[in-house]
Copies of this chain bind each other. A is one copy, B any other.
């Protein structure tokens, strides 16, 4: 358990790690998920997935499950390791930075997607709160840029910028709604500290 340069996994590797955290998977199952479900906005295809699996295995974040009864070769079942869980949780719990919002929103949403079951409700709530704060700040910057520059832009340029601002605003509203949903779901499960409405 030593001798790892401690390099941060790529988003694709985190995605695979997150899938493995939901239960043992084979490489082929992971390929299928990337092909057939909306998670696959993040690339797909065996050519990127199998090398990513190999890197995760080399880093000790996943391991081959003891071959159930397969002779070998075909059907290797992957299981996340303790260190893998720790790495995944560190990623999920990392602060939401301005750069994340400006240039890595997709990765933020991928992070969020894997949170339930892997981090506490408090961590999820903190993520959403911080996400909304950072998005609001970014929308402010974009709006003032648009105000200053829209007139000197070609119409389609201004409209494209508007689309970007809109989508950040929309995401901020979603974050607020998601926070409510998480809190309500949590209250229903937990011993119920307080009840407002049904």
Contacts and interface: CB of A to CB of B under 8 A. Distances in A.
Interface of A: 22, 37-38, 41, 102-103, 109-110, 112-117, 124, 142, 145, 149, 154-157, 159-164, 166-167, 170-171, 174, 178, 181-182, 185
12 contacts: A22-B154, A38-B164, A41-B103, A115-B156, A117-B154, A156-B178, A156-B182, A159-B174, A159-B182, A163-B171, A166-B174, A167-B167
A91 B102 CA distance: 26
A142 B38 contact: yes
A127 B156 CA distance: 12
B41 A102 contact: yes
Q: Say how many copies of this protein the assembly contains.
A: 2
Contacts of A181: 155, 159
Contacts of A160: 109-110, 112-113
Given A38-B164, A109-B163, A163-B109, A116 B154 contact: yes
Nearest to A138: B38
A152 B128 CA distance: 22
A164 B182 CA distance: 18
Given A102-B41, A103-B41, A182 B161 contact: no
Given A109-B164, A162-B174, 4 more contacts: A112-B159, A114-B154, A155-B182, A159-B178
A157 B182 CA distance: 12
A20 to B, nearest CB: 14
A137 to B, nearest CB: 14
Contacts of A38: 142, 145, 161, 164
A185 B155 CA distance: 9
